[in-house]
Structure 1
Amino acid sequence: MSTEKQQNGEQSFADDLVTTASAELPPRFFDRFMFNLHPADATAPSLILGAGAYPPRNVLDGFVVLSTGVEQRNLRFSTDLDDTDGSSIGPLSWQLLEDNERWGLKLGPNPTGLELDIEWHARTPYWLGRVEVENEGDEPTSFEHLFQSGRYSGTMTLDGQDRDVSGWYGQRDRSRGVRTMSGGQGLHIWYQAQFADYCVGFLLVEDRAGGVLVLDGAIMHESGELDYVAEVKHDLTFTDGNDLVSGTVDVTTKTGRHYVIDADARVGGGFMNGGGYDGQHGKQRGKDFEEFDVYPFDGTVSPRTLGSALTDRCARFECDGEVGYGILEFALSRSSSYSYRPSIG
């Protein structure tokens, strides 16, 4: 595995989705965005939405995952890419207002009961890397990966009640290229802890023996500074259903700074299976496909019972006495050959 990192300003990321097929694009090419949205105290409701273009397959798809505190409402939609303008699908539409700085997002009437008319604006520089992974017996993974901390303005309407989302936190994630992971993973963490003046953002993937397959990210400061992550250790607590309860990460940066961060992830929800992360992205489903379902928060749904274990959990963080909020994405392998091992201590 190798990665190439690019400082913000050295090379600007072309933020528009690639929606036109060409001979240069590999057959499994994708270009996706994802935004999360939650109150500054990480209480419900929390929202994750996204869309992806797959020009060689003529597919545009998207999703909405809404956690209300008592249940998770999931909406998935797909259509033929050439039947769209490349900036909307189903009830979801988006507009790039300023490259790497501002996006407009709208969500019209749909079965979740949620509607949006909001704007995301950057509060930190973005982190951008290129991940290269050789996959035995499969096409190599090769994709650009960007994430960036921001805040929102605008209005959310949930079950007929309007709510001003001004000041709410939100992380955006962009990935573009070919992403094929052929197995052997044990632990996956995508960590986005929002504090008043900075965000701790990293991606950590370990194999089933605890070895590091991927580690990338940075402390993204509102001042414009990016301090790259050099090492991450962890001690996480999971239920028997592989759901995260709490945990500690110990982050060391390239400049030698040290962040020990505790997380409380008991709020529930964020099961990304509801957004099609069980291998449904990019599948050809014809024009105007849509499906909706609900996961109750009664213990019957967990990362162990769903088609995908990936979970984007809204969490409360604490670092050196300062409280922050954000998303802690996690997944454990369900292989009998794997059991979680902390690396702290």
Structure 2
Amino acid sequence: MTDRFHDALITQATSEMPEKFFDRFMFNLHPDDGTAPSVILGAGVYPPRNVVDGFVVLTTATEQRNLRVSTEHDATDKASVGPLRWETVEDNTTWRIRLDENKTGLELDLLWHARAPYWLGSVDVTNTDGNLTSFDHLFQPGRYQGTLTLDGTTTDVTGWYGLRDRSRGVRTMSGGQGLHIWYQAQFPDRTFGFLLVEDRHGGRILLEGAVMHDDGRLDDITDVRHSLAFTTGNDLLHGTVEIVTATGATYRVDADASAGGGYMAGGGYGGHHGQVRGRDFEEFDVYPLDGTAGPTTLDSALTDRCCTFEWNGQTGYGIFEFALSRSTSYAYRPSSV
């Protein structure tokens, strides 16, 4: 855990700012008693490039609808892109998110409230090409109040779960990774949150995270073991992780990933973020959840699956983000649980 995070996005370029500097946020939204609909949205600013872009990924029981937008940063109010608008109401405590009418059929008017302290770390990795990845990384669980309107039907989402992710710095991850997991399992009184990256031989590149308790306690995660089941197309079916913390606690958490969807290629995660697209760029597409779209067919393997979790007789819900390398030199290998 590091010092208090300045939450508002940095929107002004400076002379010492690296050309690849970014400042991004991501929120997910889903019921606290189910996995659909699942919404993942986010935006990023790239001041040296004069770019701001954003995305919306909506997963229903039958399909995934994707919206990607980008424009010139100096043509905005510094807190919007396309139909997506945001406001930091109170640092690390409350955000307002609005999504106006758009091609997905989804509209949002939300207040996100933190339910536990955030975890903040620094991701520092030397890539196989010699470039350095270095960025601040924060994640924090919360709950919503407000409304979700889908295809004309409005739902009160008060009490729904949602975790936010903030990252700021320079990210140039390239090659060498085998397994990537960003895990956010929300239960009534705590959230299990961690980032785990392994190389193609099963060696650990990175582990950071904590058990974030609603009563304000943060218990750093010191070890994670996993046994996961994937399809031949590298899509997660189910799995178990065992989490060990600094206080000596051990948690065994099971995940059911059968809900489908959450393919982050729909949000531009195939290397498209920060690209110069000019003013008012917009793309929309739909992935049917019939097996034709997946980690091996899209331009990114990254998947944010809304899952049902089981731990100690309790049921939780949240996002299990995963990606397996598509290199022929890699095959998933479980660690002991």
TM over 0.5: yes
Matches within 5 A, 1:1-345: 5-6=1-2, 11-344=3-336
Contact 2:127/2:176 (8 A) holds in 1? no
Identity %: 66
Alpha-carbon distance in 2 for matches of 1:18, 1:85: 13
**Aligned equivalents of 1:25 and 1:191: distance in 2?**
31
- Cα deviation, 1:186-237, whole Å, max 9, x if unaligned, reads 0000000001100000000000000000100000000100000000000000
The one-letter code of the counterpart of 1:206 is: E
SS in 2 for 1:125: coil
Paired residues of 1:138 and 1:182 also in contact (CA < 8 A): no
Contact 2:122 2:134 in 1 (8 A): yes
Q: 1:32–1:51: 8 Å Cα contact kept in structure 2?
A: yes
- Tell me the matched-pair count: 337
SS for the counterpart of 1:336 is coil
- State the 1:180 CA deviation: 1.0
Normalized against structure 2, the TM-score is what?
0.99
Looking at structure 2, the residues matched to 234 and 32 of structure 1 have their Cα atoms a distance apart, in angstroms, of 29
Tell me how far apart the structure 1 counterparts of residues 306 and 113 of structure 2 sit (CA, whole Å).
20
SS of the equivalent of 1:261 reads strand
Could you tell me how far 1:144 is from its partner in structure 2? 0.1
Structure 1 ranges of 4+ moved more than 2 A: 135-139
- For residues 142 and 24 of structure 2, the distance between their equivalents in structure 1, rounded to whole angstroms, comes to 18
Provide the secondary structure at the position in 2 that maps to 1:17.
Answer: coil
**TM-score, normalised by the number of residues in structure 1:** 0.97
1:181 deviates by 1.2
CA contact (8 A) 2:142 2:161 kept: yes
Q: Secondary structure at the match of 2:265?
A: helix
SS in 2 for 1:318: strand
**Offset, 1:246:** 0.2
Q: What whole-Å deviation, never above 9, does each CA across 1:272-308 have from its counterpart, x for those lacking one?
A: 0000000000000000000100000111111111100
Aligned mates of 1:145, 1:42 — CA distance in 2: 27
Cα RMSD for the two superposed structures: 0.8
Could you tell me which amino acid in structure 2 is paired with residue 270 of structure 1? G
CA distance in 2, matches of 1:135, 1:280: 19
Alignment check: 8 A CA contact 1:96 1:103 kept = yes
Q: Deviations over 1:11-48 (max 9, x none)?
A: 21000001110012111000000000000123311100
The answer to whether the 8 A contact 2:128-2:176 is kept is: no
One-letter amino acid of the counterpart of residue 137, structure 2:
H
Whether the 8 Å CA contact 1:128–1:144 is kept in 2: the answer is yes
SS class of match (1:35) = strand
Q: Distance between the aligned counterparts of 2:177 and 2:135, measured in 1?
A: 18
Q: Is the 8 A contact 2:235 2:294 kept in 1?
A: yes
CA shift at 1:68, angstroms? 1.0
CA distance in 2, matches of 1:184, 1:241: 20
Residues in 2 aligned to 1:43 and 1:125: alpha-carbon distance in whole angstroms: 24
SS of 1:279 mapped into structure 2: coil
Aligned amino acid, residue 33 of structure 2: D
Work out whether residues 35 and 308 of structure 2, in 8 Å CA contact, stay in contact via their aligned partners in 1. no
The answer to whether the 8 Å contact 1:79/1:286 transfers is yes
SS in structure 2 of the partner of residue 273 of structure 1: helix
How far off its partner does 1:137 sit? 3.2
- The amino acid across from 1:97 in the alignment is V
